[in-house]
Amino acid sequence: RSVLRNELPGAEVMVISNREPYIHNLEDGKVVLQRPASGLVTALEPIMRACGGTWIAHGSGSADQTMVDEHDHLLVPPDAPAYTLRRLWLTDEEQDGYYYGFANEGMWPLCHIAFVRPTFRASDWEHYVAVNQKFADAVVAEAKTPNPVVLVQDYHFALLPKMVRERLPEATIITFWHIPWPNPEVFSICPWKEEILSGLLGSSILGFHTQFHCNNFLDSVDRFLECHIDREHSTISAGGCTTQVRPYPISIEWPPAALSVQPPVEECRKSVRKGFGIGRDTMLAVGVERFDYTKGIADRFHAVGSLLEAHPEWIGRFTLLQIAAPTRSRLSAYRETQDEAEKAAEAVNKCFGREGWLPIILVPRHHEPEEVFTLFRAADVCLVSSLHDGMNLVAKEFVAARDDDDGVLVLSTFAGASRELREALIVNPYDVRAMGEALHMGLSMPAEQRQERMRLMREMVGENNIYFWAGRMLLDAARMRKRHNIEHRIA
Ligand code: G6P
């Protein structure tokens, strides 16, 4: 907030994302609020609570359609209104083409190396273009000033920066890409690669999680577009517009709001074990994700099998509790991921389980942040085995939940978070045996070493928190605005 006040005085802030921060669902005739399982929302919502402004998103809950008129604009959060949520409504065809089709069957597998073949359909692309235009129109309609700071989020809106730039040339457009960016070879299979790249180059600043993704983006532009690239300053100039490409590793609120309502760790340990029928002295690992094929959920179940085979002393003394929120279930790749994970869990349970004890408990439903934090506090180990992940905020949330300075994080080397959380046990999720060994190591680690590692990770996340992430982007944007003003004055 202070960066905005001091460096960008009077600036209007607007966020554009597909997912809305509060979903209104209808349950037994009543409207119930849900917080979506989305790293993007986890990261950005605290920023908007602190800064205010307008957040434009797709209205997605089951209660929405009945409340369209009165609830187009909402003041949120409901208990302490701080910013405006403007929701846009999409038809089923738009949602199928733009969200399920182009964004999640095209861009998502294109950008993640998880070996799911991207699917590109001309009809999906048309909806993607149209929905980007619809959101760009909403930005222009909602903007109260000619030069707002527009925060564009993710792979759903690659075309929007250019569309907004054409109509609000003075806007400061900061686009953040929450998922990886592939190398030019992989990217080249997208039939609309030039449009995607030049759409993104409407941004003043384009952020990725890591330098590696920035380099992949610069290489892609170099290969497929006519423009000037200044590698030293990491800027791209095309069509009279300059874009700065930078890494901004995303993070979480510190301390997280969900922590303030948590009972002491000892109580969490007891209540979670009791709630899931797990023995009082059983060592507990937790996994928390959406049921996505990039998360390596079945792989970690195989790793539990490998652990129990190599170290039978854990039989009857260890359980993995896996929470997985169903997601994008209309797509077959997602249904298959869930099927495969359920089968893997069953196989390990059948092989090693006994009367009164299961090695894996799989709970396929959404959990609210407060419940997730209680699980984190109850656990001895948190297991994040993504096959490929831009950042992964579950790893950072686990660290944030442990104000007792205890608990072991086992983390995939293919998650952006492994670049920062160096004191985790870093694993290759494709190597089941190594993952089993890492689990064994985590479960056997002496308390002193666990605490030392956790303290270092907590220092890292505490310092590089979400306000630091947003502050760095806004400071870069402020510098850009000042430079622009000086140049205009000279001209
Ligand atoms: C990832 C994406 C987000 C998305 C989230 C949940 O974190 O980067 O943009 O919101 O997954 O996915 P969903 O499709 O349910 O919004």
The residues with which 484 forms a beta bridge, in sequence order, are none
Question: What is the pLDDT at residue 272?
Answer: 98
| Per-residue pLDDT reduced to its tens digit, 474-483 | 999 999 999 8
Is the shortest distance between the CB of 178 and ligand 1 below 6 Å?
Answer: yes
Which residue type does 430 have?
A: Y
Is the shortest distance between the CB of 154 and ligand 1 below 6 Å?
Answer: yes
Question: What is the pLDDT at residue 364?
Answer: 96
Give distance in angstroms: CA of 381 to centre of ligand 1.
25
Average pLDDT over residues 50-58: 96
Question: Does 67 score more than 70 pLDDT?
Answer: no
* pLDDT interval class at 225 (50, 70, 90): very high
CB contact set of 2 (below 8 Å; sequence gap of 6+): none
Question: What is the pLDDT at residue 1?
Answer: 84
Give distance in angstroms: CA of 40 to centre of ligand 1.
7
The CA distance from 366 to 21, in Å, is 15
Taking phi first (over 0 means left), then psi (-120 to 50 degrees means alpha), and beta for anything else, what does residue 32 get? beta
Is the shortest distance between the CB of 209 and ligand 1 below 6 Å?
Answer: no
Average pLDDT over residues 374-399: 98
User: Among 54-68, 112-126, 385-399, where is mean pLDDT lowest?
Assistant: 54-68
Q: For ligand 1, atom 12, which residue shows the shortest CA distance?
A: 38
Alpha helices, H only, 8-105: 39-51, 92-94
Between 432 and 486, residue with greater pLDDT:
432
Question: What is the pLDDT at residue 64?
Answer: 63
| Per-residue pLDDT reduced to its tens digit, 410-438 | 999 999 999 999 999 999 999 999 999 99
Average pLDDT over residues 46-54: 95
Counting residues of the chain whose pLDDT is more than 90, the rounded percentage is: 91
Question: What is the pLDDT at residue 65?
Answer: 58
Give distance in angstroms: CA of 491 to centre of ligand 1.
43
pTM of the prediction?
0.96
Give distance in angstroms: CA of 412 to centre of ligand 1.
19
Q: For ligand 1, atom 15, which residue shows the shortest CA distance?
A: 327
| Per-residue pLDDT reduced to its tens digit, 38-47 | 999 999 999 9
Question: What is the pLDDT at residue 142?
Answer: 97
Question: What is the pLDDT at residue 68?
Answer: 46
Question: What is the pLDDT at residue 144?
Answer: 97
Angstrom CA distances, 381 to 308, 363, 374, stand at 16, 17, 13
Give distance in angstroms: CA of 139 to centre of ligand 1.
21
Is the shortest distance between the CB of 204 and ligand 1 below 6 Å?
Answer: no
SS3 322: strand
Which residue type does 409 have?
A: L
Question: What is the pLDDT at residue 343?
Answer: 98
Between 490 and 160, residue with greater pLDDT:
160
CB atoms within 10 A of CB 378: 24
Locate 196 and state its tokens: 């995607």
Question: Does 69 score more than 60 pLDDT?
Answer: no
Question: What is the pLDDT at residue 167?
Answer: 98
Question: Does 12 score more than 60 pLDDT?
Answer: yes
The residues with which 176 forms a beta bridge, in sequence order, are 153, 207
The residues with which 88 forms a beta bridge, in sequence order, are 58
Angle, helices 393-401 vs 447-463, to 10°: value is: 120
SS3 286: strand
Q: Which atom of ligand 1 is nearest to the CA of 37?
A: 6
**First-to-last CA distance in the chain?**
32
**Ligand 1 pocket: which of 15, 18, 40 to mutate (most atoms within 8 A of CB):** 40
- Residue 415: DSSP 8-state: B
| Per-residue pLDDT reduced to its tens digit, 431-464 | 999 999 999 999 999 999 999 999 999 999 999 9
b/e map 149-187, b = 16+ CB within 10 Å = bbbbbbbbbbbbbbbbbeebeebbbbbbbbbbbbbbeeb
- Please name which of 57, 66, 60 lies closest in space to residue 18, comparing C-alpha atoms: 57
Question: What is the pLDDT at residue 417?
Answer: 98
The CA distance from 398 to 402, in Å, is 7
Is the shortest distance between the CB of 21 and ligand 1 below 6 Å?
Answer: no
| Per-residue pLDDT reduced to its tens digit, 82-138 | 999 999 999 999 999 999 999 999 999 999 999 999 999 999 999 999 999 999 999
Average pLDDT over residues 276-284: 97
The CA distance from 409 to 39, in Å, is 18
| Per-residue pLDDT reduced to its tens digit, 313-362 | 999 999 999 999 999 999 999 999 999 999 999 999 999 999 999 999 99
Is the shortest distance between the CB of 182 and ligand 1 below 6 Å?
Answer: no
